[in-house]
A and B are shown apart, each in its own frame.
Chain A
Amino acid sequence: MIRDITLGQYYPAESVLHRLDPRVKLSGTLLYVISLFLFQSFAGYAVATVFLVTVIVLSHVPVSFMLRGLKAIFILLIFTAVLNIFLTPGRELVSFWKITITIEGLRVAAFMVLRLVYLIVGSSVMTLTTTPSNLTDGLEKGLGWLKFFRIPVHEIAMMMSIALTFIPVLLEETDKIIKAQQARGADFESGNIIRRAKALVPILVPLFVSAFRRANDLAIAMESRCYRGGEGRTKMRPLRYTGRDYAAYSVLIVYLAAIIAVGILF
């Protein structure tokens, strides 16, 4: 279960999406996420689906990888669906005891679930096709103008990149600690919520200790490789827009136009 979270996991492949400038992918993802909330109709979903499927096919990443991220929000999806089905007022479909299911409820629930699924899958496409460092490069350069407001853009980007790099490492570590504690008779599965929460303490304490130790080691390793912040730093592959990126921006604009058109027409 612990390995199901795909966020920040790069899938190496050679595809158009992999080679796109991270700034394009970032603004694309942002635009896609916003667009999901711009329409209410089936036609809108059709456009969003076509776009998403095309992008997934272009990415050369196995679909199973995209869907893996969904397992983590499975409970949230169920929760959203159930709440929407039962709590939306409207035309009655079935009714028993105090519970009423409405047509509007089903519709809203389906839309909400789809939206969440598209949101996760859409952002997974970005994280799976972009290396974390590429992603943070994109953020650093794309948001570089914030430096004029004394926001330490480079430092934030560096922190994000390290955090992303260490997600799998720490997940593995958590897995190890859980197994080690279970081997010594720790019980994480039985008891009520409070008991289970208490059982997490022997996992979290060693995890934090080791995370701080790792952070210290990494800081020393970075300093001994001459790291001294963003000033005077160069890049192995400086970000530069190419024809491909402008083409991608055009596609995005067309997509946005289509979504807005659909939103107005239907």
Chain B
Amino acid sequence: MGVAYAAPIFILNDIMNLLDANKLVFEYVRRDKNGDVDGFIRAVDEVSLEIAQGDFVAVLGPNGSGKSTLAKHLNSILRPTEGVLYVDGMDTTDSDKIWDIRKTVGMVFQNPENQMIGTIVEEDVAFAPENMGVDPKEIRERVKESLITVEMLEHRKASPSKLSGGQKQRIAIAGVLAMHPKCIVLDEPTAMLDPEGRKEVIRAIRALNDVENITIILITHNMEEAVYADRIYVMNKGHIVMKGTPREVFSRVEELEENSLTVPVVTKLAYELKTAGLNIPDGILTKKELCEAICRS
């Protein structure tokens, strides 16, 4: 009976993706005024994702599309109702692995004020490594290097309330960086910032991806920010409705508009010029590309 037992199946971390979701479903119970169960809402509906180390992925979608709910699954704040999600080979429903998962995938949230724990920039950045039980000397090193990465070292002793929104959000990123994560999930990090702050944050995120090779998952409904991503997922009503490179996704202007999303102004202009009869290629992303295309046509 030598063949009766199957060879154990090993999950091979090396060839596996950093994040691997298979038919992820998240349902929550909706209650009416009396607290009786009114129905189930599927915030995330059979979503499958494959994200490799070093990817820069943008998740787009209108309000209520389930993109934030999906984000909260990625570091086990929420657990799937159905389906599985592997983070670096660890199942997010495995309670023993929860801290390893959170170490691997850091989260940055929308409101910078509501994620500041320390009263001084340094202390806030040190919060995560302190929780992880890192040696004091190494904490100080990590804090310093994280602050250098987001170019906030000169503010290390400042009180966060004195900083601008963009600076606060960069501190939040540094706080996550100090965990030495493989992946950072940013849930609409620029939604509460002014244009200058947005630029700062996006610049910091891109540098992390380019220089440190950290996987970035940027949840946003700002299309201009998604242009820098390697890949875009568009979500609506809990489903992934479109995916591809920014060029591929943004060339489907009508489909995006059906999902209540507006393409960047440049892309929209190029699209309108094309439908008006000009010879302009699909999926123009930057002003420069548009200028060149117009000159050529």
Contact = CB atoms under 8 A, between A and B. Distances in A.
Given A234-B130, A236-B139, A226 B102 contact: yes
Lowest 10 A-B CB distances belong to which pairs?
A: A221-B115, A217-B114, A236-B126, A225-B128, A226-B131, A224-B107, A236-B139, A232-B133, A227-B131, A131-B119
A238 B123 contact: no
A226 B135 CA distance: 16
Given A165-B119, A226-B103, A233-B133, A10 B159 contact: yes
B120 A133 contact: yes
Contacts of B119: 10, 131-133, 164-165
Interface string A82-108: 000000000000000000000000000
A128 to B, nearest CB: 12
30 contacts: A10-B119, A10-B159, A131-B119, A133-B119, A168-B161, A169-B113, A169-B161, A217-B111, A217-B115, A218-B114, A218-B117, A221-B107, A221-B115, A223-B77, A223-B102, A224-B77, A225-B102, A225-B128, A225-B131, A225-B175, A225-B179, A226-B103, A227-B131, A228-B99, A232-B133, A234-B129, A234-B135, A235-B130, A236-B123, A236-B136
Interface residues of B, number: 41
A111 B139 CA distance: 49
A244 interface: no
A222 interface: yes
B207 interface: no
B115 A234 contact: no
B127 interface: yes
Contacts of A233: 130-131, 133
A235 B140 CA distance: 10
B116 interface: yes
Interface residues of A, number: 29
A106 B226 CA distance: 72
Interface in B64-89: 72, 75, 77
Interface in A130-149: 131-133
Given A133-B120, A237-B136, A225 B99 contact: no
> Of residues A132, A168, A226, which shows the largest number of chain B Cβ atoms within 10 Å of its Cβ?
A226
A12 interface: yes
Given A12-B158, A131-B119, A217-B114, A224 B106 contact: yes
B118 interface: yes
A112 interface: no
A236 B130 CA distance: 7
B114 A214 contact: yes
A220 interface: yes
B90 to A, nearest CB: 14
A72 interface: no
Given A131-B120, A222-B127, A236-B126, 15 more contacts: A162-B117, A165-B118, A217-B111, A221-B115, A223-B77, A224-B77, A224-B102, A225-B106, A225-B127, A227-B131, A232-B133, A234-B135, A235-B136, A235-B139, A236-B122
Interface in A175-228: 214, 217-218, 220-228
A111 B126 CA distance: 45
A137 to B, nearest CB: 10
A226 B99 contact: yes
Interface in B145-159: 157-159
B246 to A, nearest CB: 28
A218 to B, nearest CB: 5
Given A133-B118, A164-B119, A236-B122, A217 B130 contact: no
Nearest to A162: B117
B81 to A, nearest CB: 19
Contacts of B278: none
Contacts of A225: 102, 106, 117, 127-128, 131, 175-176, 179
B128 A226 contact: yes
Contacts of B120: 10, 12, 131, 133
B118 A220 contact: no
A61 B99 CA distance: 42
B109 interface: yes
> Of residues A168, A223, A228, which shows the largest number of chain B Cβ atoms within 10 Å of its Cβ?
A223
Nearest to A224: B107
A133 B120 CA distance: 9
Interface in B139-187: 139-140, 143, 157-159, 161, 175-176, 179
Given A131-B119, A131-B123, A220 B128 contact: no
B132 interface: yes
Contacts of B72: 220
A221 B114 contact: yes
Contacts of B158: 12
A234 B123 contact: no
B123 A133 contact: yes
A12 B99 CA distance: 34
Interface in A6-33: 10, 12
B134 interface: yes
Interface in A220-266: 220-228, 232-238
